[in-house]
Amino acid sequence: MKIEALDPPRKYSVRSVEIRHCGNIRLEPDEQVTFTTASGREYDVTKKSWGFFATPSVNGRLKIFGYRTAVVRDPSGKRFVCLVETEKEAEFRRYLEEDNTGVEYWLSDDRDPSFGKD
């Protein structure tokens, strides 16, 4: 694994939000990094020879750590995968409304994704 910190961070805006790109991590196949929060939540990314496991199991490990996984679509039609802290769903919905973005479906639901639409 190689870590490159960006100091100062590179800053850019996406619509009305300023993003700070703080660093880069390069993984070799079968290496993993775990991102943690102050509250103890975890999120893993694992490099494989063919690409990445971008998330742990969405209806297993992420659910245990208190996340719901949503596929959202922005006004331009781009899709994103969002991990939403379960107790912050109201905040997430306000963000979506302000950003004119919507949930296409919840991947973390234990049923066919077409039934998870909001």
Each domain of the chain, given as residue ranges in start order, spans: 2-110
Q: Name the nearest CA neighbour of 45 among 59, 24, 31.
A: 31
Residue 116 has pLDDT above 50, yes or no: no
What's the pLDDT score for residue 87?
92
How far is the C-alpha of 64 from the C-alpha of 46, rounded, in Å? 18
The torsion angle over the Cα atoms of residues 64, 67, 70 and 74, rounded to 10 degrees, is -160
34 and 53 Cβ atoms separated by less than 8 Å: no
Count of CB atoms situated within 10 Å of the CB of 106 = 21
Of residues 115 and 39, the one with the higher pLDDT is 39
pLDDT tens digits along 55-111: 999 888 998 999 999 999 998 999 999 999 999 999 999 999 988 899 998 987 765
Dihedral of alpha carbons 19, 24, 27, 32, sign: negative
- The confidence band for 1, taking pLDDT boundaries of 50, 70 and 90, is very high
pLDDT tens digits along 13-71: 987 789 999 999 999 999 999 999 998 899 999 999 999 999 999 888 998 999 999 99
Q: How far is CA 56 from the centre of its chain?
A: 11
What's the pLDDT score for residue 117?
52
What's the pLDDT score for residue 23?
96
- The confidence band for 113, taking pLDDT boundaries of 50, 70 and 90, is low
- Lookup result for tokens 């939000």: 17
54 and 45 Cβ atoms separated by less than 8 Å: yes
